[in-house]
Structure 1
Amino acid sequence: MKVAIETYGCTTNQADSDIMRGLLSRYFELSGVEEADVVVVNSCGVVDITERKIIRRILDLKNSGKKVVLAGCLTRISDMAVKLSDSAISPDNIDRVVDAVFASLDGGCSFIDRRVVDKSRFCRVKKRKKENAIAIISISEGCTGACSFCATKFARGRLRSFSLDGIVEEVERIVKEGYREIQLTSQDTGAYGLDKGKFMLPELLERISSVKGDFRVRVGMMNPQHAVKILDDLINAFSSEKIYKFLHIPVQSGDNSVLQHMNRGHTVEDYVEVVEAFRKSFDDVLVSTDIIVGYPAETEDAFWKSYELLRETRPDIVNITRFSPRKGTPAAKCRDIPGWIKKERSRKLTELVREIGLENNRRFLGKRLKVLVTKKGKDNTVLARTNSYRAVITQGNVGEFRDVEITDCRFNYLKGRPAESKQ
């Protein structure tokens, strides 16, 4: 029997798919969706538009005669998605994916009970698609927060940090396999270890940095309230050559009253302190943040505070999301802002972000930079990353480190040509 996996959403889902792919390969032939008898849909439930897209996809697959196993966040967020599927497995039940596939052929079943599973113990069964030089490792699941707008908490639950030794063992294994970029992912990397009584991210990064080999590590999203508490230790850990100087720190709003209504647990000042400390410590830091526009408590004045915050702190990447009420969350009970206002605010922020991104990238024109080639691009090009994780379109071989001269740029990437070797 042939089984395929379709993955939606974040890098955590991609890491979960690697585990399920390895488990399924022991019993079934892995294939593309067209040839598959059963399709595992690893779903995302961050916004309602994604939920609707996945539900339509489930219907299409069913109409084409395929069995569908629903995995990912929608198993605990969307009753409709679960009902339409033949079987369902929640994120903390992915080790039961084989049973779910067999059950989909015989009446179906749902594995969505709450469990504590240390996913680092699956490092030896993971089956990655060897398409590039990138490997993803989950370091924890769930979070310590209770954001008023977030439905992911329903799916992922409270924080469970995975074994530090197990994570390091997986890093050692994948470096030996030839992967050169390691992406550490979770719902909040800064909270790693808090369920065990202490902040452990700096220690984890130091342990990973001691692993032999030439590789780079991208640390995933961390919330400001945790980053600010471990700032000195965090910067010391990031000082390793093996850690990209990449900081994904979502502020969500530039207005403290909105942040309080969101129940974010941090202030604008926390965000600014972390960003400024990183920029003082390193020659180049790529700063990424998230902004929600049109949140119910966002007044016109609050929106412009977000605008000014971006203009003053000049992040390189801003993920702009129009507020979307999620069933069961406190924010869904609030009066929503008209869609045209959200769209206009999003447009204004997007224009600003593109302007800032272009100005930031122009600083690198004519410079010589060391990059790691991570994946193939279009038209015989490759995607490479600088030490701060800036994207560079150039030529080269996947997995190699090389020097490039920056010749051009856009707001979201650099262009470079291979540099001549220094004599």
Structure 2
Amino acid sequence: MTLEDIEDIYQNVNSSNNKNDNDYHEFKVKLNPRIFQRKNNEKSNDNVVDDGDDNDDQPDDNIEPYQNFLPAKHSIYVHTWGCTHNSSDSEYMMGLLAQNGYNIVQDKDQADLWILNSCTVKTPAELQFRNEIKKALADDKKLVLAGCVAQSDYRLPYLKSMSIVGVQQIDKIVEIVDETLKGNVVRYLNVRKRDGKKTGGASLHMPKIRRNPLIEIISINTGCLNECTYCKTKHARGKLGSYPIQDIVERAQTAFRENVKELWITSEDTGAYGRDLGTNLPELLDELIRVTPEDCMIRIGMTNPPYILEHIDNMARILSHPRVYSFLHIPVQSGSDQVLSDMKREYCIEDFCKIVDFLKQRVNGITIATDIICGFPTETVENFEETVSLVEKYQFPVLFINQFFPRPGTPAAKMKRIPTQEVKRRSRVISQLFNSYQPYNDRIGRKYRVLVTELSSDKQFFVGHNKFYEQILIAKHQCQLGEWIDVEVESTGKYHMMAKSSLQRWFWNRFRTIFSNNDQTDDDDSRKKMIKTIWLSSCSIVLVSSILYKIYRKIV
């Protein structure tokens, strides 16, 4: 749900459904017994206690009820690192906080409390997270930590004495923020279970403030089935836990009713979805397609090779559907079977090539994105050359190039590292290869139908995507966000295509904007100005058309 003003907050948040959910959490009127108040200026961390069993939610009768606490007096700033799963978690937390009266702000200097939602995939992201904590403390801001670093490393000294909301406990964010603002430390880190089995996490039926009102991100499962030796995300997200198909479909229907145009299906590994529930990704996608309106699109998130290979025929069929982007992110990580084995990736290069070749043959124009890790400890020069050959073979239009970072607590962190300069060299070689080819050079003059959903990073253009999720930049006066338009490619770059501007489309967009504003205007003076603008625009069109016609007649 998109919340823009506190008066517009959607009050009926499927509360009846939530109460029937085993994971429903009713916020207490009294302090939770696991919440401890800091005494004076004690340096001791004995007042920080992690939460225990989720079923033990009885309040302590010896603690006084909340008094004189008004959330509306406090502003909250949320910063997110990492994947779309983290982004979705932040959107839910902002929605819950806004629903309970808190002000969500973009300027961190204006905020009373910062929520820092961390990512543990790469060392640089964790360093940024640590630096933000230092800034917050220096500015005397209250802090609530979230995400994978906070979940997996909560015992580290720099995270002690700080409130933490676990990756499966985001529905408790209001309680945690309440108590943190009062000077208490609260931690909810438990794994969510139902009937003894891990679930996807907090309920999907919660309010949400979307960063982009046109895009709904749904995390269909958490955790994964792999044991990759370099990955620390497993320490935080744990084993696979999937949401039931019905819950996901209902969440999608809610989003479409709120005028969302793109549905992003995400998780640590979408391909593994449902293996813990006796279902699978194609079955989920078929149900989602049935409820997706004709003017909306579905984008499928990252999937590891082993699980997509099991459903390759159905996935090709689904990726060819007109309401699903023909786009798939399949991280290969290395072109060497030996390195993949050392990474415990559970597939070989032949498997990856089989998937890519099959999808390219069966899904017209499909875009395949992938990831490369340069400098894994056991990667020899010969192993690296195999990776270079793989990139040369497929010339992936979307390629995420990463240098190996040893993440504490992972098996790969104990391996002897390749010298840093050599790791950087290999990364440069792959980057130079990637920049040497231009995937869109042959597209000038091509015509596409695109869905416009985003603003470019420089704020100068709207961004639309065609069926293959290729990025096309469009002049802002040509269209409006959330609509489908037909475009012709005028020029291309490494990462995008540029749409040709159309005088006819400009006139149509101008008139539509005028009439739209006129419908929303009640003031008589404003209405008169609007009518005058329409009249002048009409005269301009007639004049230009007349001049063009005379020129045409002279030429003929």
TM-score, normalization: structure 2?
Answer: 0.73
Residue deviations 1:35-85 (CA, integer Å, cap 9, x gap): 111111111111112111110111101111111100000113334476256
Q: Looking at CA atoms only, which structure, 1 or 2, has the larger radius of gyration?
A: 2
Specify the SS of the correspondent of 1:136. strand
1:1-80 map, 5 Å: 1-27=74-100, 28-32=102-106, 33-78=108-153, 79-80=155-156
Residue deviations 1:231-287 (CA, integer Å, cap 9, x gap): 011111222111000010000000001000000111111111111111111221111
Specify the SS of the correspondent of 2:99. coil
Q: Structure 1 residues 288 and 26, CA, compared in 2 at 3 Å: closer, same or farther? A: same
Residue deviations 1:139-194 (CA, integer Å, cap 9, x gap): 11000000000000000000111121111111112112111111110000001001
Residue deviations 1:1-56 (CA, integer Å, cap 9, x gap): 22221111110001001111121123322223221111111111111121111101
From 282, 304, 310, the equivalent of 2:385 is 304
Q: Which amino acid is 1:317 matched to?
A: V
Q: CA RMSD in A?
A: 1.8
Structure 2 residue aligned with 1:280: 361
Q: Structure 1 residues 99 and 380, CA, compared in 2 at 3 Å: closer, same or farther? A: same
1:364-383 map, 5 Å: 364-377=443-456, 378=458, 380-383=460-463
1:237-316 map, 5 Å: 237-316=318-397
Structure 2 residue aligned with 1:92: 168
Displacement of 1:106: 2.4
Q: Which amino acid is 2:85 matched to?
A: T
Whether the aligned pair in 2 keeps the contact of 1:55 and 1:81 (CA below 8 Å) is: no
Q: How many residues align?
A: 418
Whether the aligned pair in 1 keeps the contact of 2:232 and 2:407 (CA below 8 Å) is: yes
Whether the aligned pair in 1 keeps the contact of 2:329 and 2:368 (CA below 8 Å) is: yes
Structure 1 residue aligned with 2:291: 211
d(CA) in 2 for partners of 1:82, 1:383: 40
d(CA) in 2 for partners of 1:7, 1:300: 36
Whether the aligned pair in 2 keeps the contact of 1:59 and 1:84 (CA below 8 Å) is: no
- List runs of 5+ in structure 2 lacking aligned partners: 1-73, 194-198, 506-556
How high is the sequence identity, in percent, across the aligned residues?
32
Whether 1:227 and 2:299 are equivalent positions in the alignment is: no
Displacement of 1:120: 7.2
Point out the more displaced range, 145-154 or 171-180.
171-180
Q: Structure 1 residues 223 and 421, CA, compared in 2 at 3 Å: closer, same or farther? A: farther
Specify the SS of the correspondent of 2:276. helix
Structure 1 residue aligned with 2:481: 398
Whether the aligned pair in 1 keeps the contact of 2:292 and 2:323 (CA below 8 Å) is: no
d(CA) in 1 for partners of 2:501, 2:256: 25
Displacement of 1:109: 2.0
Q: Which amino acid is 1:205 matched to?
A: L
From 478, 487, 496, the equivalent of 1:413 is 496
Structure 1 residue aligned with 2:64: none
Specify the SS of the correspondent of 2:418. coil
d(CA) in 1 for partners of 2:292, 2:162: 45
Whether the aligned pair in 1 keeps the contact of 2:297 and 2:323 (CA below 8 Å) is: yes
From 113, 121, 126, the equivalent of 2:208 is 126
Displacement of 1:123: 3.0
Specify the SS of the correspondent of 2:408. coil
Q: Which amino acid is 1:405 matched to?
A: E
d(CA) in 2 for partners of 1:85, 1:9: 24
Displacement of 1:115: 2.3
Q: Which amino acid is 1:72 matched to?
A: G
Q: Structure 1 residues 225 and 419, CA, compared in 2 at 3 Å: closer, same or farther? A: farther
Specify the SS of the correspondent of 1:194. coil
Q: Structure 1 residues 202 and 418, CA, compared in 2 at 3 Å: closer, same or farther? A: farther
Whether the aligned pair in 2 keeps the contact of 1:403 and 1:419 (CA below 8 Å) is: no
TM-score, normalization: structure 1?
Answer: 0.95
Q: Which has the bigger relative contact order, CA under 8 A and spacing at least 6?
A: 1
1:297-376 map, 5 Å: 297-356=378-437, 358=438, 360-376=439-455
Whether the aligned pair in 2 keeps the contact of 1:87 and 1:109 (CA below 8 Å) is: yes
Specify the SS of the correspondent of 1:383. strand
